[in-house]
Chain A
C-alpha cells in the first residue's frame, strides 16, 4: 500500500509542477535569453558596419578627425566587453555594456551630423548604401531592445507572483532580469535628411 501511495504522490507532484509555474518560469527565462540573443546580434551587426563607414567618410571628410576617432574608439571599447548570457544576471555588466553601446550611438549620430557639411559624400553611392544599412541596423537594435524589455517584463512578473514566487525560492532560484533603460537621445536612430 505504501508503494502505491508513493507512486500517486509522485504523479501528483509531477502534475502540480505545471500548476506552480515551474515550467512557465523556465519558458519565460528562455524567452528572455532568446531576446537577448537578438539584441547581441543587432549590436554586432552595427559594429561590423563601422569600419566601412569610417573608411568611406575618411575619403571625403578627412579633417573631421575628432569625430572619426570618437567612433573608432567607441567601437574598440565595445569590442572589449565580452557579451554573454551570464551578463543577464549581472546588472553591473549589463550597465557597462549599455553605456559602451550608448557611447557608440552618440558617436555615430555626431558623425552623421558632421557629414551634412559634405554634399559630395552625401551623393556618394557607397555612402548612401551604408547609410541605409546603418539606419536599418539602428532600427533593428530598437526593435530587439523593445522585445527584450517585454520578455524581461513577462519573466520578472512571472517569478514575482504567487505561487511562482514560492516555487522559485524553493527550487529554481532565478534572479530578476534587468531591462534596458532609455538613454537620453540614444534610443533614436540617427536621422539624416536629404
Chain B
C-alpha cells in the first residue's frame, strides 16, 4: 500500500513537467484575443470584417494573441496551431493565421498553401515590417491589427470565391473506398444467394433474394455529414506548409 502511494505521488510529481509545454488554445472565432490586446469596438469590427471576407471569398483569416510563447519559437508554435485548427477550406487551403505574442513582442503571419502564390513570404514580411510593426511600436495595437488585417485581405482578395452556402459546411463527397466495399458486399450477397438458389434451400434463398431485389436501404450506414457543426466556429480543413513571415517589434 505504501509503495502504491509512493508510486502515485511520484506520478503526480511528474505531471506538471509534461503540462509546462504551451498548449493549443481553443478556436473561438475570427479574433482569439487571449492577451487582451484588442479593444472591444475594434474586436467587433474585425470580427465583422473577417466574417464577411470568409463569406465572399471563403478565405479564413484568424487572429490569435497570446500573453507569452513560454519559450517556444513563434514559427514552431504557429505551425502547431494551424495544424490543430485547420484554417481555410479543404482543398483550397486558404487559411491565414495572424499570431501575436505580447510579452515576447513577436508576431507571425502563417499562410495556407493555397494562398502562397498571392501572399508570398515576401508580401507577408512586408505587411509585418511596413504596416503592423510601426503601429505596434507606438503601442497602437488596435491600429496594427486593423491595418494588418486590411492589408492581408487586400493581398488575398479574389484568389478564391465562396461557392454558395454549402462550400464549407457541406457534406463530404462520398468516399470511394466505401463505395468499393459496398459493391463487393453486394456482389458477395448476390453470389451467396445464387449459390443457395441452385442448392434449393428455399427459406434462405427467399430472404436474401428479397434483400438484393429491393432497395439496399439496410446497408446505408454512412454518416450523412460532419457532426458537431451546429453554429460553432471551426476550420475547414486547410493545410499549411510553413509559408509566411515572422517579425518582432
Contacts and interface: CB of A to CB of B under 8 A. Distances in A.
Nearest to B73: A188
Interface in B208-249: 240-246, 248
Nearest to B74: A139
Contacts of B125: 128-129, 131-133, 135-136
Interface string B118-149: 00111011100100000000000000000000
A32 interface: no
Contacts of B124: 132, 136
B241 A133 contact: no
Contact of B122 (A4, A133, A139): A133
A13 interface: no
B188 A135 contact: no
B99 to A, nearest CB: 13
A4 B195 contact: yes
A105 B9 CA distance: 46
Nearest to A137: B121
A26 interface: no
B241 A136 contact: no
Contacts of B54: none
Interface residues of B, number: 22
A185 to B, nearest CB: 14
Contacts of A143: 79, 240-242
Interface string B90-132: 0000000000000000000000000000001110111001000
B75 interface: yes
Given A135-B246, A136-B121, A128 B241 contact: no
A193 B241 CA distance: 24
B22 to A, nearest CB: 17
Q: How large is the interface on A (under 10, 10 to 19, 20 to 34, 35 or more residues)?
A: 20 to 34
A75 interface: no
A11 B191 CA distance: 11
A139 B75 contact: yes
B79 A136 contact: no
B186 to A, nearest CB: 13
Contacts of A193: 248
- Give the most central of B195, B242, B243: most A CB within 10 Å: B242
Interface string A122-161: 0000001101110111011111100000000000000000
Interface of A: 4, 7, 11, 15, 38, 42, 128-129, 131-133, 135-137, 139-144, 189, 193
22 contacts: A7-B191, A15-B184, A38-B241, A129-B125, A132-B122, A132-B124, A132-B245, A133-B121, A133-B122, A133-B125, A135-B121, A135-B125, A136-B125, A136-B244, A140-B242, A142-B75, A142-B76, A143-B79, A143-B240, A143-B242, A144-B242, A189-B75
